[in-house]
Amino acid sequence: MDQGLDVSIELAPGAPSEEIRRVADEKDASLIVIGSHGESMTEHALFKFGGTASEVLHSFTRPLLLVRTRIVAKGTEVCAEGTCTNYLENILYCTDFSDTAQRAFEYVEGLVEAGCKQVTIMHVQDKSRIDKHLAHKLDEFNRIDAERLAMRRDRLATKGATDIQVKIPYGLPTEEILNEIETENYSLVVMGSQGRGFVRQLFLGSVSHNIARHAKISVLLIPAIR
């Protein structure tokens, strides 16, 4: 309320993830925000937030901001606090040039218009798809994709960004993105995500969901339009 927001409180009696989706639909929410403990990222302890973040991640149809939190002691109390106070400081935008990634880019544009000056635009040349039969075309792929990323860079510049990096690493997308997050001081990752309606194995194995599981910083996921 101090920030000029219209705030209401809902005490929902049902399963948390189901109630979150229900209330979001009823309120026509433009964004779902939920916390997850970054230090608890393991294959068997996905989002120690009562399992709620994990369940919401597996079925969301609205933009979802997973706020990475840490557990801290304040006097005699133990509480969770966000690991970042300014998401507009330095954004990493990852794209595979899909329609959903383009939709996520529109959110990046909005964040730049809101004041973000520093953005890295990243596309990973997927080694698992290229190595076998397309390695001879890698230079061509890099040239084409560099041009596509340059168009996005120029567009962000017109929106007000002043420090824009473009990166096209070669490797496995999840590993390359996580390595980038580890080596640079980003405040937020923005990505598109397939959302509801896909085979479970594909859904859980998607790059965006792997990043949401393992990234040490907060992640904004933009779902496909259904």
pLDDT at position 78:
57
In sequence order, the 6+-apart residues with CB closer than 8 A to the CB of 72 are 78, 79, 80, 81
pLDDT at position 54:
72
pLDDT at position 4:
66
- Evaluated on CA atoms 178, 184, 185, 189, the torsion sign reads negative
Domains and CATH numbers, the chain: 16-223 (3.40.50.620)
Calpha distance 38→217 (Å, rounded): 7
In sequence order, the 6+-apart residues with CB closer than 8 A to the CB of 169 are 122, 124, 125, 176, 180
Nearest by Cα to 221 from 172, 197, 188, 185: 188
Question: Any idea of the CA torsion for 52, 55, 61, 65, to the nearest 10 degrees?
Answer: 50
Calpha distance 160→158 (Å, rounded): 5
pLDDT at position 195:
42
- Evaluated on CA atoms 175, 180, 182, 183, the torsion sign reads positive
pLDDT tens across the length of the chain (226 residues): 556 677 888 887 877 778 888 888 888 899 988 887 644 433 333 334 346 777 777 778 899 999 887 666 677 775 555 566 789 999 999 999 999 999 999 999 999 999 999 999 999 999 999 998 999 999 999 999 999 999 999 999 999 999 999 999 999 999 999 999 999 999 999 999 864 444 444 444 588 888 988 899 999 999 987 6
pLDDT at position 79:
58
